[in-house]
Structure 1
Amino acid sequence: MRRSRILGVLTALVLSALPTQPPAVAAAHRAPTSAVVDSCKPDEGRGVAPQVAAGDLVGSWPGAHSAPRARRLGVPRPRAAHKPYTDNDSVGLVYGEDAKGRCTYCTASVVLSPAGQSVLATAAHCIYVWDPKENGAKGRVGWLEHVFFVPAYQKGKRPPYGVFPIHKAAVEPGWYLDGSVDSDLAFLGADPDTHHRKVADLVTQYGLEFNADFHQEVKAFGYFDSLARLTSCSGRTKLAYPAIKKIVRFSRCQVSHGSSGGPWYARYTGGYGYLDGVTESGNIPDDPDDYVYSTYFDDVAYDTYRRVTG
């Protein structure tokens, strides 16, 4: 069975390899959900420009992965005692510049973090760039630079928790090697802000699930209308392409530029839930089902997470 290719990256969300994809699946038309602009000013620079210089991002990808095993990590740790600023303050804006000076905005979320660390989950194309070419080939652009996370971002308002520089990142090896869309997952390590606060101490750290059931009720979050607002939707996941067992999707969820990397939570009840997906793409034109897609959290995903947590 031939391999189909999805071409593209941050300028229009991923385009990459779907191994053994059934020919009938029109995956090449999955729409972009990351936002790319000319400068890193999420809100015209108002209150968002960080006051700390980001160091060089240390990026990596896992090698051989561990034996298959169902894993559920951590009990979600609620943090904020005050009224939340958004529907989920653990979700926020992640942004940075690529080697060509273009700025990319995506959604990211805080997950279970070992003591002294702050760990985020997002889509791989939000942190490591492949550039589409006119002839259908892809060019490696590489890791973003000067990457920052703004939890509970609200357009037109100052960041309620601060701005946190990203110093470390890991992407799935399939994304690093050739931009495979079935490996569009990354975990990030965040440094404290200028007041020496850790983001993991300020908002809820949600748990993670790996090798969970392909069919689960989930609630997804992401920035909508090019960062204008945080929105959410719910649905039941299933395998997008049964022959692959590497991509899951659910229907009836509208996404737009900036939604990439948004978390999918199983058993979500506000301050409780387990991350088992992130939005990588969605909404085929004229598709009445409005599908959104995520890389399945398997052993490779677990090893990618461990690459950041040490």
Structure 2
Amino acid sequence: MRHVSQLRALSAVAVLLVIPGYGDRDPGPGGRTVEAPATAAYARVGALFEGGLDGDHFCTASVVHSADRNLIVTAAHCLDDQDDAVFVPGYRDGRAPYGTWPVKETYTDDAWQEDGSEDDDVAFAVLGPGSATGARVEDAVGAARLATTTAPADATVTVTGYPSDSDAPLTCTNQTTRYGDTQQRIECPGYSGGTSGSPWEAVDGSVVGVIGGYEEGGDDPDVSYSIVFGQTTAALYRLVEGEGC
């Protein structure tokens, strides 16, 4: 379990990648975890705090493209019973270089709401205006494309997230393997509590998963899990877009 401290629709999605992705990073050797540099390519990944910077950060989230430019994706278990969560993109060393954004609306699938289904451990959250300028989050830090087509079993992804005992994000690149038909796993050391919701970015910069799923992300900090994004994730995304939040 990595977390310390909603609606089903139809169809797939296609959106645009808006800021530099994996190709603009130096991920280092496969399977090695390092501190992520403070660059624009990592700015769309941030920490989720309770209340604000004076609280604790308990999970990770990242900005994904939406028509209203105000959407993040994380693990569903991160936002259970959280009514004052704040997203801080690019958080580092106690500072919010781009400002903070309050979570206003959370969307998870019916199967998660009703049964806590490990195969539906993903959430989208609509953010309010930023604290610094009132801007929408995507206008401040960019966004990634959400990918919901079936990924190959051995895809290369970069996982970036915030352990709860760290004030800087970690990043690691490695190949994924399938864990049954609905889950995927990756071996990257050091992804402890607080990294739930960390985005899995493919080589084209699209988000293909988030730490969560099996055991809410896994029971070993060196092996992380995600659900396989597919039709259900696409439907949930389309639902949020249709709400026009």
TM-score by length of 2: 0.80
Q: Are the aligned partners of 1:227 and 1:257 in contact in 2 as well (CA < 8 Å)?
A: no
**Aligned with 1:175 (options 112, 117, 128):** 112
- 1:121 corresponds to 2:62: no
Match of 2:158 among 204, 212, 219: 219
1:35 alignment partner in structure 2: 4
Q: Provide the secondary structure at the position in 1 that maps to 2:63.
A: strand
Q: Is the 8 A contact 1:123 1:184 kept in 2?
A: yes
Q: CA RMSD in A?
A: 2.4
| Matches for 1:1-310 after TM superposition, within 5 Å | 32-36=1-5, 60-62=6-8, 65-66=9-10, 71=13, 73-78=14-19, 85-86=38-39, 88-96=42-50, 105-114=58-67, 116-128=68-80, 143-156=81-94, 158-194=95-131, 195-215=133-153, 216-224=155-163, 226-241=165-180, 245-268=181-204, 273-280=205-212, 281-282=216-217, 284-285=219-220, 290-310=222-242
Distance 2:42 2:148 in 1: 22
After TM superposition, give the deviation of residue 103 of structure 1 in Å: 6.7
Q: Which has the higher strand share?
A: 1
Q: Which runs of 5+ in 1 are unaligned?
A: 1-31, 37-59, 129-142
Give the structure with the higher percent helix.
2
Question: Aligned partners of 1:160, 1:223: CA distance in 2, in Å?
Answer: 16
Helix, strand or coil: the match of 1:308? Answer: helix
Contact 1:171 1:304 in 2 (8 A): yes
CA distance in 1, matches of 2:188, 2:134: 41
CA shift, 1:283, in A, is 5.3
**CA contact under 8 A between 2:2 and 2:218: conserved in structure 1?**
no
- Amino acid in the other structure paired with 1:174: A
Are residues 148 and 113 of structure 1, via their aligned partners in 2, closer, same or farther at CA, if it must alter by over 3 Å? same
Change (3 A) 1:283 1:176: closer
In structure 2, the residue matched to 1:46 is none
The higher radius of gyration belongs to 1
Distance in structure 2 (CA, Å) of the matches to 1:301 and 1:211: 10
- Please give the per-residue CA displacement for 1:135-178, whole angstroms capped at 9, x wherever unaligned: xxxxxxxx42112111111133x211111111111112221111
SS at match of 2:188: coil
Distance in 2, matches of 1:260 and 1:284, equals: 12
TM superposition outliers: structure 1 runs of 4+ over 6 Å: none
SS of 2:146 mapped into structure 1 = strand
Letter in 2 for 1:74: V
Number of matched pairs? 217
How far 1:212 moved relative to its partner? Answer: 2.3
Alpha-carbon contact 2:199-2:210 (below 8 Å) kept: yes
| Deviation of 1:197 (Å) | 1.0
Q: CA deviation at 1:284?
A: 3.8
- In the alignment, the residues of structure 2 paired with residue 296 and residue 96 of structure 1 have an alpha-carbon distance, to the nearest angstrom, of 28
Cα contact 2:17–2:145 (8 A) shared by 1:
yes
Q: Tell me, in whole angstroms, the C-alpha distance in 1 between the residues paired with 2:147 and 2:240.
A: 16
Q: Is the 8 A contact 1:174 1:183 kept in 2?
A: yes
**For residue 309 of structure 1, what is the amino acid of its counterpart?**
E
Task: Check 1:162–1:103 CA distance in 2 against 1; reply closer, same or farther (3 A cut).
Answer: closer
